[in-house]
Amino acid sequence: MPLIPVTCVTAACDVCAAAYEPEEYSVHFEDLAQARDTVRDCGWLITAEGRVICGADDDEHRQAVDELLPAEPQPQVPGQLALGEAEEGR
């Protein structure tokens, strides 16, 4: 039987470098789509830029996810002074 090289895909967290190993074995996917679908179904986050973030719940992972969120909106009623704005500055 000849040896045939096969290309496969593995997944690892971009924050902590933990490999996706659900049962303590390395999973080899046939393509990127299969890898994305599987790790996403297991609670991992895949960003639009292709970053992969595992489901670990620590400060480093929370910060990585928080950085993906848009800035909190600063609501202001028309005619209302902005914080720190003086009346004479209008």
pLDDT tens string 11-65: 999 999 999 998 878 888 999 999 999 999 999 999 988 899 999 999 999 999 9
Residue spans per domain, the chain: 1-68
What pTM, to 2 d.p., does this model score?
0.69
pLDDT score recorded for residue 41: 94
Q: Is the pLDDT of residue 89 over 60?
A: no
Residue whose tokens read 């830029």: 49
pLDDT score recorded for residue 79: 75
pLDDT score recorded for residue 52: 96
Query: How far lies 68's CA from each of 42, 43, 63, 83, 86, in Å?
Result: 20, 16, 9, 26, 34
pLDDT score recorded for residue 88: 63
Using the Cα atoms of residue 77, residue 83, residue 88 and residue 90 in order, give the sign of their dihedral. negative
